[in-house]
């Protein structure tokens, strides 16, 4: 994998870059739609291409449990399995093990957990996580980390961060030679000193990119901001920077402003399935009765497939009637909204106008 830093905005820390993987190029800053179970829920691969998604995220934890990574490997890898020809980043399974599964034991060797699907017991070691991601054949693999909950005291955060660093070393050592890139994950909870220390140790190991984990997990916004401001400037400029699991449109803009290159979040897709739709002035609940007779699209002027063809009245009807098409049309709109924000930011950075663009972005919100 290559990463080219193309331009830095002179009005902010925002960066314009390009990732190049075996499966194509990815313009950054980029938002990666989440395809948990080998599908971005409700969408076909062609629809993702129509939305100009250049990279999606797959969840190692889910695919490990079902249908199984060995099976996907035998069937030619995740790209072929789900018929997605562009880039894929897989997470390491760490976050889901800590958020979805029932943890039995965190030990130096790895994590013993029970499947959220059938209660079966599994041990995931750092080496397992890398082997599974190799079987999936993703373009970018993530190292296996302990996701620190919020809040934890400094002592536990330190202990956890140090284990994550030791695991990161084992991940790096166990990656088979090949084209798969590996990113390290900076932990350290809300403590800037721990984040910095973690970053330094990960850089000594050496990764193709660096991610920030366990943010937007319940801490106040200012704390996330403080961690970002304290850590991002110290990250190596020539490597991509990935803020994991974040966030709202505002979070994306603030992250880019501080120099983040990559994001992922279930928010646009999950909220779409719950009827919450994003617009430039905020969000709407499509089930609201005031839309029952509304012939307008979700957002007038929006170029997405949904807005070009369907009224709020129709989308409300589909949602109220629990029609399958509702989830898809809502998902298309929300992802289109997210990806267009990213596209606008990329253009603003190229024109050295990011700060002005950011001001207008916030001014439009009501």
Instruction: Rule CB under 8 A: say whether 81 interacts with a copy of itself.
Output: yes
Q: Report the residue number, 82 or 228, with the smaller CB distance to a copy of itself.
A: 82
Stretch that binds a copy of itself, among 69-77, 99-107, 131-139, 354-362 (CB under 8 A): 69-77
Question: In DSSP terms, which residues pair with 89 in a beta bridge?
Answer: 57, 140
Region 86-105 residues binding a copy of itself, contact defined as CB under 8 A: none
Residue position matching structure tokens 């399974």: 93
The least distance separating a copy of itself from the CB of residue 66, rounded to whole angstroms, comes to 6
The least distance separating a copy of itself from the CB of residue 55, rounded to whole angstroms, comes to 19
Exposed, middle or buried: residue 116 (CB in 10 Å: 0-12, 13-18, 19+)? middle
**C-alpha dihedral, 194 to 197 to 199 to 205, nearest 10°:** -140
**What's the CA gap between 195 and 177, in Å, rounded?**
29
The least distance separating a copy of itself from the CB of residue 314, rounded to whole angstroms, comes to 6
**142 three-class SS:** strand
In a 13 Å sphere around the CA of 64, the CA atoms on its Cβ side amount to 28
Region 113-142 residues binding a copy of itself, contact defined as CB under 8 A: none
**What's the CA gap between 185 and 166, in Å, rounded?**
12
Q: For a copy of itself, what does the binding mask look like between residues 267 and 306, x meaning CB under 8 A?
A: -------------------------xx-x-----------
Active site residue 91: yes
The least distance separating a copy of itself from the CB of residue 130, rounded to whole angstroms, comes to 23
Stretch that binds a copy of itself, among 132-140, 165-173, 192-200, 323-331 (CB under 8 A): 323-331
Residue in 67, 77, 149, 169 binding a copy of itself, rule: CB under 8 A: 67
The least distance separating a copy of itself from the CB of residue 271, rounded to whole angstroms, comes to 15
Given 9, 91, 139, 251, which residue is catalytic?
A: 91
Residue in 45, 94, 255, 259 binding a copy of itself, rule: CB under 8 A: 45
The length of the chain is 366
In a 13 Å sphere around the CA of 243, the CA atoms on its Cβ side amount to 29
* Contact (CB, 8 A) for 240 and 261: yes
* Contact (CB, 8 A) for 185 and 143: yes
Instruction: Rule CB under 8 A: say whether 210 interacts with a copy of itself.
Output: no
How are strands ordered across the β-sheet holding 121-124? 102-107, 110-114, 121-124
Binding site for a copy of itself (CB under 8 A): 37-39, 41-45, 66-67, 71, 74-76, 81-83, 292-293, 295, 309-311, 313-314, 316-318, 320-321, 323-325, 327-329
């Amino acid at each position: 994998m290559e990463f080219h830093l193309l331009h830095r905005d002179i009005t902010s820390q925002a960066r314009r870059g390009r990732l190049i993987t075996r499966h194509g190029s990815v313009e950054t800053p980029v938002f990666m739609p989440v395809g948990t179970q080998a599908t971005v829920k409700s969408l076909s691969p062609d629809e993702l291409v129509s939305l100009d998604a250049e990279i999606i995220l797959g969840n190692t934890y889910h695919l490990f449990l079902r249908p199984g990574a060995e099976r996907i490997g035998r069937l030619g890898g995740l790209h072929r399995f789900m018929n997605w020809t562009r880039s894929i980043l897989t997470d390491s399974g760490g976050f889901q093990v800590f958020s979805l599964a029932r943890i039995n034991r965190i030990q130096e060797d790895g994590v013993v957990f029970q499947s959220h699907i059938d209660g079966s017991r599994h041990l995931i070691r750092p080496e397992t996580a890398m082997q599974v991601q190799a079987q999936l054949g993703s373009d970018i693999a993530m190292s296996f980390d302990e996701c620190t909950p919020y809040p934890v005291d400094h002592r536990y955060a330190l202990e956890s961060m140090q284990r994550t660093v030791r695991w990161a070393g084992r991940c790096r050592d166990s990656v088979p030679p090949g084209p798969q890139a590996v990113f390290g994950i900076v932990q350290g909870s809300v403590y800037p000193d721990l984040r910095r220390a973690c970053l330094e140790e990960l850089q000594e190991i050496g990764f193709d990119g660096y991610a920030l984990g366990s943010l937007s997990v319940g801490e106040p916004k200012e704390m996330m901001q403080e961690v970002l401001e304290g850590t991002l400037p110290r990250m190596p400029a020539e490597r991509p920077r990935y803020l994991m699991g974040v966030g709202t449109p505002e979070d994306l803009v603030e992250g880019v402003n501080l120099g983040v290159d990559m994001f992922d979040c279930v928010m646009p897709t999950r909220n779409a399935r719950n009827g919450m739709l994003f617009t430039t002035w905020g969000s709407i609940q499509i089930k609201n009765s005031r839309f029952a007779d509304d012939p307008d699209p979700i957002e007038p002027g929006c170029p997405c497939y949904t807005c070009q063809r369907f009224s709020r009245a129709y989308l409300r009807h589909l949602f109220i009637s629990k029609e399958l098409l509702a989830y898809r049309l809502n998902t298309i709109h929300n992802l289109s909204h997210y990806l267009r924000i990213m596209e606008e930011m990329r253009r603003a950075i190229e024109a050295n106008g990011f700060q002005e663009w950011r001001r207008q972005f916030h001014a439009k919100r009501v």
